[in-house]
Amino acid sequence: MSLSSRISISQRVAEALASNKGVVALESTIITHGMPFPQNLEMARNVERVIIDNGAVPATIAIMDGQFRVGLDDADLERLARTGGVAAKASRRDVAALLATGQIGGTTVATTMMAAEAAGIRVFATGGIGGVHRGAETTFDISADLEELAKTRVAVVCAGAKSILDIAKTLEVLETRGVPVLGFGTDEFPAFWARESGHKVDQKVASADEAAAIIALQFELGLSGVLVANPIPEAAAMDRHVIEGHIAQAIKDADAAGIGGKAATPYLLKRVLDLTGGASLKANIALVENNAAVAARIANALAAR
Ligand code: PSU
Ligand code: MN
């Protein structure tokens, strides 16, 4: 029993995997729920372009027409981007229902990892992962992304975690679940829009080759996924204290509006976007492109081993 009966891999991605080329998986909740149209479509296309420019093959993943689609073509990318928040936000618990009913779903980090592993893709680029929400001691809101990192052998390149989350608790859970966190060129765990969070990573890596060596051994030993934390480029980074103020406001607004559960992350992202007058969206796009470039280099280094 496995996911393979419900996975449809595009020809381009299948050929790349068969010839041992670097392949980078991309999630699609960031397209459906993370950004408004048309910026989401533009971002999705640009990120694929960055991966190609760095010598690897992109594989955007989504649930469509009763299948996990691995490697969307441009028409499906546009269909997904236009569907936006009307699509389901597909977490692990939603998979069977969405596949059985043929609904369209943007895959989160967790479900994108599931499909990537099943397809034989070892590297995945995203913006930020889900984690432990602030107040989780009463709400129990801890993203399924952390569980998936603990059991699925895929390396996820992200810009750390947004401080809409409790970063200290997120790092604690990653430690408990045995997930290594590699800082790409840094020993500081980045906070998505800002390069610093005040928290350290377990291991700093100086290059894609160094990251690939650890990732390859982690998978060979059958241990878990790996989180690669890659800070937002200096030029695009936002002031940590300014963004903190907006996040505090957004969390207050979410509480007042009674927003929780799977709606929490999309609501907070949208609220921060409004409060920063769109600046947070520009930074978000820049960091995703930066992660795609690093993921492509790591995927190529893994393929060359
Ligand atoms: N962070 C972002 N944009 C996003 C997400 C996270 O900046 O779109 C999405 C990712 O798909 C992530 C998901 O896997 O939110 C986590 O949601 P939850 O906290 O409900 O598990
Ligand atoms: Mn949640």
User: Probe ligand 1: pick from 126, 193, 232, 269, max atoms within 8 Å of CB?
Assistant: 126
CA nearest to 105, candidates 51, 48, 66, 142: 66
Domain residue limits, the chain: 3-304
Q: Which of 27, 117, 148, 289 is catalytic?
A: 27
Note the pLDDT of residue 271. 95
| Known active-site residue 117 | no
Separation of alpha carbons 214 and 286, rounded Å: 26
Note the pLDDT of residue 30. 97
252-293 confidence digits (pLDDT tens): 999 999 998 999 989 998 999 999 999 999 999 999 999 999
- Burial label, 147 (beta-carbon count in 10 A; 0-12, 13-18, 19+): middle
Q: How many A from CA of 305 to the centre of ligand 1? A: 31
pLDDT above 80 (res 171): yes
Separation of alpha carbons 98 and 111, rounded Å: 12
Give the three-class secondary structure for 201.
Answer: coil
Structural class in CATH, domain 3-304: alpha beta
Provide the whole-model pTM.
Answer: 0.97
Half-sphere exposure of 140 (CA within 13 A, CB side): 0
Note the pLDDT of residue 43. 97
56-96 confidence digits (pLDDT tens): 999 999 999 999 999 999 999 999 999 999 999 999 999 99
Note the pLDDT of residue 163. 83
User: Probe ligand 1: pick from 27, 108, 230, max atoms within 8 Å of CB?
Assistant: 108
Q: How many A from CA of 161 to the centre of ligand 1? A: 10
Given a contact cutoff of 8 angstroms between Cβ atoms, the answer to whether 95 and 7 are in contact is no
